[in-house]
Amino acid sequence: MACIRGERPVFSGVSFSLDPGGALALVGPNGAGKSSLLRILCGLLRPAGGTLAWDGAAVDEDWAAHRQRLHYVGHLDAVKPTLTVAENLDDWARFRGAARAAIDALQALGIENLADVPGRFLSAGQRRRLSLARLVATPAPLWLLDEPTVTLDAESAARVATMIAAHRADGGMVIVATHGEIALDGANRLDLGVHGVPADMLLADQEAKPEDDAW
Amino acid sequence: MATRATRRGRAGWTSIHFFANPARFLRVARAVYPWAAGATAGLIVAGLVLGLYVAPPDYQQGDAYRIIFVHVPAAWMSLFVYVVIALCSAASLIWRHPLADLVAKSSAPVGAVFTFITLLSGSLWGQPMWGTWWVWDARLTSMLVLFFLYLGYIALHAAFDDPAKGARVAAVLALVGVVNVPIVKFSVDWWNTLHQPATISKIDAPSIDSSMVAPLLLMAAGFMAYYLTVLIPRVRAEIASRRIRNLRLAQVSR
Amino acid sequence: MVGVFLRLVGRELTLALRGSIGTLMTVVFFVIAVTLFPLGVGPELGLLSRIAPGAVWVAALLAALLSLDRLFVADHEDGSLEQLMLGTLPLELVVLAKTVAHWLTTGLPLAVAAPVLALLLNMSVDGLVILVVSLLLGTPILSLIGAVGAALTVGLRRGSALIALLVLPLYVPVLIFGVGAVEGAVLDVGVHANLSILAGGLVGAVVLGPLAAAAALRMTVE
């Protein structure tokens, strides 16, 4: 799989697979393409080449089904300042087709006491926890998390680690972009550092698209 | 259950990219360019001579009508170029045809200038005809709206830092615009009949004589050749600038 | 799916009502813009009643433009837009839901306020009724076309100025047929043709607008 972001080839020759209960830690320096890869995996960004498959079937054939089986938590928390914590969470559950958000979602992140507080009064860490509560509010087998613990205190980060462990114990999968702040037992590591891509892979990728050489 | 991502070339695209190969385009363009330039000069000179000296003066408008030899072909070209942009936009969205993007982008300022010439010549014509520099004639008004559409397209194209993204987004606008051009035309005609008493004759080629048709067609062909003549270097410059960007990017990423 | 759609419309309305004075601002702008016309051309009643249909419609058109730049940008900035794109509702319907909410908070209040303003411009009662009808048919088209412009400029630093340039030329037909209907009523020469064309335009815009806006959003949100 290759990615071109803002005309810049960010990475190429990336290949991985993940089994139920598995976890993948995306590591690499800033700009290596961790966020871009996550956005490709959830369909917000189109890859410059390569395929994405689920159970052997190409995801291209049915993006709607693919979106249903994933949760994506990016850098932005999607919290509306004028809606309360409970309303924010409930909306996202409904937009995913659920009747309502699971009651224990706020508890899992220790913000159940904030349920009636409008989003504008939340701190950055609380907003992030609300954003992560979406993961529990509606079930989805694949979690795509972009530096999920970056604004969290140690206690909340531990809660997230517990959530991920429970999710994996249920057969869920997690792909986390991280600088190593979060503990993932037995996770595979995918280093997207520019120097981690073998030179022959870069060349091979270019040969695969000769039309670009003409430019 | 497994999430898997594998690397694969863009094999499916090559058949379409075959026609979009810039090297091929450059070869053809290099061969066509001198002919297009020569045709432009020849056709326009012939058209002007026939139009300004050979064709008889109009019995009502005198010599003033001769501006149609510029006005009418320019109006045709402004519509033609907009359609070219829309077709190229469709090609670029559907087949991701990279050359189509460049042709669309390069055409827009040329089309805008044709539209401006149409407006200017129409306005100049208004002075001897009706004693005013601007008449809210249906065609001129449609052309004015078309001019705004061109400006919007050019501005949207330029607003994006990433030219590839700008091209895709502007392509959507071009398609929305081309759907609207006939609607605008229809509405402006409607508006005009509502408001204008029938006393003012429209900017029509008045009682066309065959001696007027020949220069008109010559000028139209000349304008078309001119479009090609300016389009080719513009597209070549775009290709060159894409190449420079890619070289710079390659430098950064190594 | 209908439930999700209505939920999204409701959410947008809640946000608009709780959020800011943006909704109110549209109507206030409309009122002030219309009152500028008598100040500009003079208070002569005959002249005012002649320009009334056009003046009210132009002011409404500009007022509808005012809030467009926030249509997608607010959701884009806080990450809601990408979550909506990952939800069950197809993006075309997301666009339609947000457009419906936009119309309910801008176009509808404009249509309600318009007759009062038209009275200030000495419009006849026949004209008032058709003015409201034409605004009810025309302003949704403005919102739908506006959504396309807003989607095209999401993520741009100076998007709001660009929206006006992109969208206003496309508003020309709506303006012409809207004003045409009102003038037809005032002059008693028939309004059906203009209103039918507006209604047809509305149907076309409901079908094509969300398609184009969704296509644009997929490109601008990456």
CA distance C206 to C140: 9
Looking at residue A198, what is its pLDDT? 38
Strand partners, A52: B5
Looking at residue B63, what is its pLDDT? 78
Residues 6+ apart with CB under 8 A from C144: C99, C205, C206, C209, C210
A9 band by pLDDT with thresholds 50, 70 and 90? low
Q: Which positions in chain B touch A56 (Cβ < 8 Å)?
A: 2, 4
Which tens digits make up the pLDDT trace of A84-108? 888 888 888 888 887 777 777 888 8
CA distance B1 to chain A (A): 5
Determine the Cα angle at B5 with ends B1 and B9, to 5°.
145
CB A161 within 8 A of CB A182: yes
Looking at residue B9, what is its pLDDT? 37
The residue that leads in pLDDT, B25 or B228, is B228
Looking at residue B1, what is its pLDDT? 36
CA distance C10 to C5: 9
Looking at residue B201, what is its pLDDT? 45
Of B152, B179, B190, the CB nearest to C166: B152
Looking at residue A213, what is its pLDDT? 34
Q: Which positions in chain B touch A168 (Cβ < 8 Å)?
A: none
Q: Which positions in chain A touch B6 (Cβ < 8 Å)?
A: 1, 15, 50-51, 53
CA distance C39 to C54: 16
Q: Which candidate, A82, A77, A87, A84, places its Cα nearest to that of C21?
A: A82
The residue whose two tokens read 């993932």 is A184
Residue B201 DSSP symbol? P
- Residue C109 CB: number of other CB atoms within 10 A? 18
CB C33 within 8 A of CB C62: yes
Residues 6+ apart with CB under 8 A from C69: C150, C153, C159, C160, C163
Q: Which candidate, A214, A136, A149, places its Cα nearest to that of A180?
A: A149
Looking at residue C108, what is its pLDDT? 93
Please check whether residue B96 touches C, CB under 8 A: no
Beta pairing, strands A188-191 & A23-27? parallel
Please check whether residue C17 touches B, CB under 8 A: no
Average pLDDT taken over every residue of chain B: 82
Say what the ipTM of the complex is: 0.89
Please check whether residue B17 touches A, CB under 8 A: yes
CA distance A62 to chain B (A): 14
Which tens digits make up the pLDDT trace of A41-83? 888 887 777 777 777 777 777 888 888 888 899 888 888 888 8
Number of continuous H segments (helices) and E segments (strands) in chain B: 7, 1
Res A200 pLDDT > 60:
no
Res B91 pLDDT > 70:
yes
* Residue type at position C34: V
Which tens digits make up the pLDDT trace of B187-219? 888 887 776 544 444 445 455 667 778 888 999
Domains and CATH numbers, chain B: 38-191+210-253 (1.20.120)
Buried b (16+ CB within 10 A) or exposed e, B95-115: ebbbbbbbbbbbbbbbbbbbb
User: How does DSSP assign A66-127, residue by residue?
Assistant: HHHTEEEE-SS----TTSBHHHHHHHHHHHTT-SS--THHHHHTT-GGGTTSBGGG--HHHH
Cβ contact, residue pair B4, A52, below 8 Å: yes
Q: Which candidate, C85, C128, C132, C142, places its Cα nearest to that of C112?
A: C132
- Residue A146 CB: number of other CB atoms within 10 A? 20
Q: What percent of chain C has pLDDT over 70?
A: 99
Instruction: Read off the pTM.
Output: 0.86
Please check whether residue A44 touches C, CB under 8 A: yes
Average pLDDT taken over every residue of chain C: 91
Helix (H, G, I), strand (E, B) or coil at B197: coil
Which tens digits make up the pLDDT trace of C78-130? 889 999 999 889 999 999 999 999 999 999 999 999 999 999 998 988 889 99
Domain that holds residue C180: 2-220
Which 154-183 residues of chain C touch chain B by CB within 8 A? 156, 158-159, 162, 165-166, 168-170, 172-173, 176-177, 180, 183
Q: Which positions in chain C touch A91 (Cβ < 8 Å)?
A: 7, 11
Helix (H, G, I), strand (E, B) or coil at A138: coil
Cβ contact, residue pair B22, A214, below 8 Å: yes
The residue that leads in pLDDT, B249 or B85, is B85
Beta pairing, strands B3-6 & A16-18? antiparallel
Which token pair is B179?
């759907």
Which tens digits make up the pLDDT trace of C194-210? 999 999 999 999 999 99
CA distance A27 to A38: 12
Residue A145 DSSP symbol? E
Residue B202 DSSP symbol? P
CA distance B236 to C102: 44
A7 band by pLDDT with thresholds 50, 70 and 90? very low
CA dihedral C176, C181, C182, C184 (to 10 degrees): 110
Res B178 pLDDT > 70:
yes
Mean pLDDT of C40-44: 90
CB A139 within 8 A of CB A94: no
Phi/psi for A80 (5° steps) reads -85, 130
Cβ contact, residue pair C212, B176, below 8 Å: yes
Cβ contact, residue pair C78, A44, below 8 Å: no
User: How many distinct structural domains can be found in chain C?
Assistant: 1
Which 167-206 residues of chain A touch chain C by CB within 8 A? none
CB A134 within 8 A of CB A89: yes
Phi/psi for A188 (5° steps) reads -75, 155
Mean pLDDT of B99-110: 93
Helix (H, G, I), strand (E, B) or coil at A34: helix
User: How does DSSP assign B6-68, residue by residue?
Assistant: E----GGGHHHHHHH-HHHHHHHHHHHHHHHHHHHHHHHHHHHHIIIIISPPBTTTBGGGGGH
Cβ contact, residue pair C165, B187, below 8 Å: no
